[in-house]
Structure 1
């Protein structure tokens, strides 16, 4: 029996889904969404808050404020509620309605930014709003997930060692790139372990994280319109960019097998499948990190009208360019 007194005390760390039958390679999906925040972001949020408390930055009466597309905001809202802090999430229209309602249920406030900045897009505008709040009142404390080293340290301490322990002969690790906290923490750990593990970053088409022109991105989670300050590309062996339509197909393919995952997970799975399909070695052992579950995407990725309006009525048809869609008919 497990008994806890605070929500951060519960997190399922050792659950993997075997995707070999789906992708044709030994790919194991590390499920990070089985906690009270529903995503891997609970780890970074917990680490950043603990460090801020230890340093004296956070104290009674503080109000946490953070720019988030949803998952980190949810995680911080839970921690703020459990510790008695105020919380403000600065987001934009891409944030799922269920995530907004979740944060409000925890007693947090949600500020939605509608107009992108001339430089930096919506993310740049969100950050500017956070900075304005902090300048207006010294009770506001911005942990800044985009530059905070405790973001990656959380995964250096927890996520990566767990993977290394369960997969001593791991060949490749697929990690979605958002703030790049998970990516950098895991990559640094395996580099220092001197384990020959190839680190493959999975990004969204339209993101500027690894260069390129910014483009429309409607699925929150991975990708950025401002290059993450945490990113050190010397730790990354390869990068896969995934179209959002392929993210959708991956999510639906998993759902047809009874696994309801979120958009970030769909992106990572699609990227991993694409990368593995190019390899000549059939005996590679791979792990992909699944950052989130799918309940918060029921009104978007799993809603037909939303999909058709953004990606066309053929997005899930057998004639779609990705093999994931065809597999829907045979699942």
Structure 2
């Protein structure tokens, strides 16, 4: 029986959902949404905070600040409350209202950027705002999840080994790409310990992470308007791009079977299903996809008909938007 005294002390490492009956293809979904703060971002948040404490950068009286589209901000809010730090989250207008309210409930201050930069979109605008806060007050400590090696170390230390313990004969691992912390941590571990396992990154259409053209994205979590500094494509075997309507359709397909997952999970599952359909060749591969979050924070967006149709059009709920399996850009 787990007993904890701080919210960051509990991660659910051993829960998987068998999606074969839902998708018609074998896929095990590693559920990270039951971590105490509700997402896989709890692992990176703890690792980065504790690294900053060990280095002396973070100490009593300092103020944590970070850019987040939602889940990391919630995790850091809970950790900051537990440890007695002030926390300022810089997000943007795409952040779910539920995530903002959770952060505020933990005592965090939320700054919402409403105008994207022409070059780099909302992420570039958020990063500029964080830099301005740090320049104005020396008490601010920016963890910078986009360049912080502790981000991927968390998954190298815990997430990948946990998958390996559960599936020692794994063939393919699907991981969503945002900051690429989860992707790089898992990919580096597998290339070192199980190099035959294929690592497939799942990204959103409109993200520039893998050298594809930018386009508006409305579902927070995966994707990036700026190339992730942590990304090393030599550790990635394939990339699948998922249009956001396909994310919505997959989330709702899972919900129709009683599984309410978040937008990032819908993207990963959609991309994994498409990759398996194209690469399975009749062979039953052992495949795992990492689910970053659950769906309660998306009730007003992904699971709201008016929002979906207002953003993507009246036909958005029809199955017309298949993911695309792409080769990695040459020379990137």
Q: What TM-score, normalized to structure 1? A: 0.95
Cα deviation digits, residues 16-42 of structure 1 (max 9, x gap)? 000112223221000001022110000
Q: Secondary structure at the match of 1:26?
A: coil
CA offsets, 1:203-245, max 9 Å, x none?
A: 0000000012110100000000000000000000000000000
- In the other structure, the counterpart of 2:286 is 285
Cα deviation per residue 1:292-316 (whole Å; 9 max; x = unaligned)?
0000000000011101101222222
Query: Which SS does the other structure have where 2:175 is aligned?
Result: strand
Cα contact 2:246–2:322 (8 A) shared by 1: no
Q: CA deviation at 1:281?
A: 4.0
Report the RMSD for the aligned CA atoms in angstroms.
Answer: 1.2
User: After TM superposition, what 4+ stretches of structure 1 lie above 3 angstroms from structure 2?
Assistant: none
User: What is the CA distance between 1:322 and its match in structure 2?
Assistant: 5.3
- Alpha-carbon deviations, 1:60-119, whole Å to 9, x = none? 011100000000000000000000000000011000000000000100000011112232
The structural deviation recorded for 1:323 is 8.2
Name whichever of 98-107 and 17-26 sits farther off: 17-26
The whole-number CA distance in structure 1 between the counterparts of 2:34 and 2:150 is 21
User: Equivalent residue of 1:273, what SS?
Assistant: helix
**Any idea what the Cα deviations from partners look like across 1:157-191, whole Å, max 9, x if unmatched?**
00000001111110000000000000000000001
What secondary structure sits across from 1:12 in the alignment? coil
Q: For 1:158-173, what aligned pairs fall within 5 Å after superposition?
A: 158-173=158-173
| 2:120 counterpart residue number | 120
CA distance in 2 between partners of 1:145 and 1:49 (Å): 11
Q: Secondary structure at the match of 2:27?
A: strand
Q: How does 1:221-240 map to 2 (within 5 A)?
A: 221-240=221-240
Question: How far apart, CA to CA, are the structure 1 residues paired with 2:257 and 2:25?
Answer: 17
Deviation readout 1:130-171 (Å, 9 max, x if unpaired) = 001111111100000000000000000000000011111100
Task: Say if 1:25 and 1:282, in contact at 8 Å, map to a contact too.
Answer: no
Relative to the length of structure 2, the TM-score reads 0.95
1:153 is aligned to 153
Q: How many equivalent pairs are there?
A: 322
Structure 1's unaligned 5+ residue stretches are 325-331
Deviates more, 1:273-282 or 1:174-183: 273-282
Q: State the Cα distance separating 1:120 from its structure 2 match.
A: 1.3
